[in-house]
């Protein structure tokens, strides 16, 4: 159990276009989802956190109008990079956390496989 699916795994887009990344919890209900950004050979940088049905909370320095997060259901969160530019090229990873599931351990973040975004 506790599988998180992230799609797409790799996307290439032109500068100025928008890209949507999906994060799904496949076998549990994720009360909270996290979005991270990872630069090459660096650690994860938390971008934002969201609960289902609520507005996301963004970390300091992250532009909320640039990185739109929607957490419409307990199994799906999306990150939309609007008007992407080459400096937005990065590896984006989501994780999911549950406070509900009986068999999926709480207080653990389960990670997707990540999405590599390349903006030309």
Partner 1 sequence: AQSVTQPDIHITVSEGASLELRCNYSYGATPYLFWYVQSPGQGLQLLLKYFSGDTLVQGIKGFEAEFKRSQSSFNLRKPSVHWSDAAEYFCAVGPLFSGGYNKLIFGAGTRLAVHP
Residues of this chain that bind partner 1 (CB under 8 A): 4, 6, 32, 34, 41-44, 46, 49, 51, 57, 91, 93, 95, 97, 105, 107-114, 116
**Whole-angstrom distance, CA of residue 50 vs CA of residue 46:** 12
Question: Among residues 38 and 80, whose Cβ is nearest to partner 1?
Answer: 38
Among 82, 29, 35, smallest CA distance to 56 is for 35
Question: Among residues 15 and 113, whose Cβ is nearest to partner 1?
Answer: 113
Q: How far is the CB of 119 from partner 1 (least distance, A)?
A: 18
**Whole-angstrom distance, CA of residue 114 vs CA of residue 50:** 18
Residue indicated by tokens 């989501």: 94
Question: Among residues 25 and 49, whose Cβ is nearest to partner 1?
Answer: 49
Q: How far is the CB of 105 from partner 1 (least distance, A)?
A: 8
Q: How far is the CB of 100 from partner 1 (least distance, A)?
A: 13
Question: Among residues 48 and 81, whose Cβ is nearest to partner 1?
Answer: 48
* Cβ–Cβ < 8 Å for 93, 44: yes
* Cβ–Cβ < 8 Å for 114, 9: yes
């Amino acid at each position: 159990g506790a599988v998180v699916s992230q799609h797409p795994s790799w996307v290439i887009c032109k500068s100025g276009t928008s890209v949507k990344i999906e994060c799904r919890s496949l076998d549990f209900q994720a009360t909270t989802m996290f979005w991270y950004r990872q630069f090459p050979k660096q650690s994860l940088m938390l971008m934002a956190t969201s609960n289902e049905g609520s507005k996301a909370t963004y970390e300091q320095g992250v532009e909320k109008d640039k990185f739109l997060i929607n957490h419409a259901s307990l199994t799906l969160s999306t990150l939309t990079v609007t008007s992407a530019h080459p400096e937005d090229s990065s590896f984006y990873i989501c994780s999911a956390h549950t406070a509900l599931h009986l068999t999926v351990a709480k207080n653990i973040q389960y990670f997707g496989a990540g999405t590599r975004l390349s903006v030309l």
